[in-house]
Amino acid sequence: MNEEKKTDYHQFCEQWTKELMENPAVQEYCKTYQKYSMDSFCKAYANIKASGLKWGEMYQRLNEQKQNEWIDLAFEHLSIIQQKKLFDAQCLWRAEQLEIKEIEITFDFRAWEEDILNCSFIPPITLQEVDWYCQYLSQNNAEFEQDWFQDWQNYEEIKEAYETNNENRNFPEWYDFHNGKTGNGVLLTLPDIRGKKEKFYQSLCIEDSRKHDPPISYVKDPELEKPYMNIFDTKLHITLAQLIEDKQTSKLITEYLKGTEHHHTYENETADENLQYLSEIKDELIPIEAHDDYRVALNRAVESYRSKKTIEHLPLAFQKYKATYQLGISLGTEREKEQFKTYMDIGKNWKEAILRGRELNGEPKDFDF
């Protein structure tokens, strides 16, 4: 391996970010988007460039094999197992039946949702739980698509859905299946003692702010009329790479993004996209069940195939998880870690409001309540 291969490209991220911000071509590329989003986009691009230079060749090989897609997809589903355990812990914590030193306010659970595989205060995944999850995915009524980008720790919405059977509210099917195995549905009947206390203190803070802060006149900002640069939009990064990078670097960045794209987005494909997806599967026959709407039939065929491949690769993903966990290596993607940091920063505002409310109520400015 030559010295270039050993380079820790991430050490250059700060320098690359500065160069991107000052690059006239990049400024021109970004000018149709909100200027406030350019900084975070350039930082994200610099990190993607580092990953592409470091791992692009590996992902090019894996992209050709298609194997990494299924192991990574199965690994993502392992995180769903942990989401339910975190939610159960949240129910107990809100009812003041469980103490968690890493949790100060309810919003902390929302932050840990983003970095769930590194959540240290819930037990590690077990083989029994993997078996349960395989059973769940094998069910005919398991909605594979439903398991993506949900608010797994949205306590209020999930509890309302459980109590009212409101179809407009979201109750994850995996939670329902898990409750059937564990009997943990009873946790949703526990009182939300902690949540009510927080809302009381927050209301005091809001009321005080209204008394002392004069209303701010709204001035329309033309920048906000422009679209935001989504740092997880792979097309934006690939287009910029093609614009400013040399051919080899652009290719490595593209291969890295292609290999990790299922970490960034998972959308309902159109019928044409589903048909194209199925046509590229050369080594297997994919059954398509009859339906009045061929688009639904195609979508179900794709979902069924993805579900089948996920089940097949869950044991491999679990072995990878166990080995990584036992070595004490951080789990999850860079995106998840960045999201966790973002939500922890948001949580600081919640904490300040609660502490201010405590002070206004003549109580100590701490979270011991």
Alpha-carbon distance 348 to 354, whole Å?
10
Please state the length of the chain. Answer: 369
Alpha-carbon distance 150 to 185, whole Å?
19
Q: How would you label 223-234 residue by residue, b for 16+ Cβ within 10 Å and e otherwise?
A: eeebeebbbeeb
**pLDDT less than 50: residues of the chain:** 1-5, 146-149, 263-268
Tell me which amino acid residue 353 is. Answer: A
State the pLDDT at residue 84: 96
pTM: 0.66
Structure tokens at 138: 């094998």
For residue 74, report the phi and psi dihedrals to the nearest 5 degrees. Answer: -65, -35
> In this structure, are residues 104 and 197 in contact, taking their beta carbons and an 8 Å threshold?
no
State the pLDDT at residue 266: 37
- Residues in CB range of 273: below 8 A, 6 or more apart: none
- Is residue 288 classed exposed, middle or buried when 0-12, 13-18 and 19+ CB atoms within 10 A define those classes? middle
State the pLDDT at residue 3: 41
State the pLDDT at residue 5: 47
Cα maximum dimension of the chain: 70
State the pLDDT at residue 240: 92
Select from 340, 347, 343 the least CA-distant residue to 118.
Answer: 340
**Cα 272 → chain centroid:** 27
> In this structure, are residues 174 and 344 in contact, taking their beta carbons and an 8 Å threshold?
no
**Cα 101 → chain centroid:** 24
Alpha-carbon distance 45 to 48, whole Å?
5
* Secondary structure element (H or E) that encloses residue 155, with its range: helix 155-164
> In this structure, are residues 123 and 88 in contact, taking their beta carbons and an 8 Å threshold?
no
